């Protein structure tokens, strides 16, 4: 990354993994390290949120688009705030697929998170078939536009984006640094059409099989400002090495 205004961020998405002992292991590993040039966030399954110390930045993997009421199984933004949660991953491809979250529902969730003054980590990314068909940029633009249409470009000053090509998630098939950079630059240009300051300032993470061994090269790309990490966030040493790569 090159812009001095963008602070690197690494967010760990535990998905439906981890246990109480991992909370302690991650915190002791990361707190020993000097990570003064970046921020790290853990997004554990919701039941573990209350087990972290207050110094750890926390996020969730999903939130309801509703305030309260008869929505069995859902968790509201106000509940998350009570547990000191500052971030919410919205629109992860697994939720889009497993829970049929459309671009419109994703946009509603982003709006709800922003309204509560939490930071959404909005995920966008294409399936392999879209990349092969050559419609990658249209696909990403449509995902962004659904949110832009609802919340407006100025709200993007308060959110984080994550580009996660679906074919790279949990597959070990990382996008090359050039492939990641190409899409990140496209996203920034797309936002710049509406507001160049917002486009320059927004943090855009890359997600998809990031490991200690490839993080440095990915994060050295001009428009890659850190990572959204799945599998490697479950191993404290691997997660630390990714955070160290972002800290440089
Ligand atoms: C993710 O689930 O957001 C992710 C990027 O997973 P992984 O790092 O395991 O590919």
Is residue 164 part of the annotated active site? The answer reads yes
pLDDT in tens, 97-147: 999 999 999 999 999 999 999 999 999 999 999 999 999 999 999 999 999
170 lines ligand 1 (CB under 6 A): yes
Half-sphere exposure of 169 (CA within 13 A, CB side): 22
Would you call 22 helix, strand, or coil by DSSP? helix
Q: What's the rounded mean pLDDT across residues 194-207?
A: 98
The CA 113 to ligand 1 mean position distance, Å, reads: 22
- Dist. CA 70 → ligand 1 center (Å): 31
Cα 15 to ligand 1 centre (Å): 9
pLDDT at 83: 87
In angstroms, rounded to a whole number, what is the distance separating the alpha carbons of residues 167 and 212? 19
Per-residue confidence at 195, pLDDT binned at 50, 70, 90? Answer: very high
Instruction: Tell me what the pLDDT averaged over the chain comes to.
Output: 96
Would the pLDDT of 193 be above 70? yes
Question: What's the pTM?
Answer: 0.96
Q: Is 132 a catalytic residue?
A: no
Q: pLDDT tens for residues 62-73?
A: 999 999 999 999
Of 101, 164, 217, 237, the active-site residue reads 164
Contact indicator for 49, 60 with CB cutoff of 8 Å: yes
Integer CA distances (angstroms), 81 to 26, 77, 110, in order: 22, 6, 15
- The answer to whether 205 touches 228, Cβ cutoff 8 Å, is yes
Structural domains of the chain, with CATH: 9-246 (3.20.20.70)
The residue that leads in pLDDT, 39 or 3, is: 39
Catalytic entry in 92, 101, 126, 184: 92
């Amino acid at each position: 990354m090159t812009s001095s205004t963008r602070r690197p961020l690494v967010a760990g998405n535990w998905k439906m993994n981890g246990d109480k002992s991992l909370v302690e292991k991650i915190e002791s590993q990361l707190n020993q390290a000097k990570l003064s040039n970046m921020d790290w966030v853990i997004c554990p399954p919701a039941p573990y949120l209350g087990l972290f110390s207050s110094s750890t930045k926390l996020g969730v993997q999903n939130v309801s688009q509703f305030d309260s009421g008869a929505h069995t199984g859902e968790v509201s933004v106000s509940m998350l705030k009570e547990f000191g949660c500052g971030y919410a991953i919205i629109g992860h491809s697994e939720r889009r697929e497993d829970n049929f979250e459309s671009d419109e529902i994703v946009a509603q969730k982003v709006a709800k998170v922003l309204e509560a003054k939490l930071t959404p980590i909005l995920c966008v990314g294409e399936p392999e078939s879209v990349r092969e068909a050559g419609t990658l940029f249209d696909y990403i633009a449509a995902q962004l536009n659904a949110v832009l249409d609802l919340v407006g470009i100025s709200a993007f000053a308060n959110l984080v984006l994550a580009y996660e090509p679906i074919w790279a998630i949990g597959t070990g098939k990382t996008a090359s640094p050039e492939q990641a950079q190409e899409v990140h630059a496209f996203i920034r240009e797309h936002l710049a059409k509406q507001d160049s300051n917002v486009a320059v300032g927004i943090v855009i993470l890359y997600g998809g099989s990031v490991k200690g061994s490839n993080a440095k090269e990915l994060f050295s790309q001009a428009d890659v400002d850190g990572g959204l990490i799945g599998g490697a966030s479950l191993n404290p040493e691997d997660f630390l090495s990714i955070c160290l790569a972002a800290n440089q």
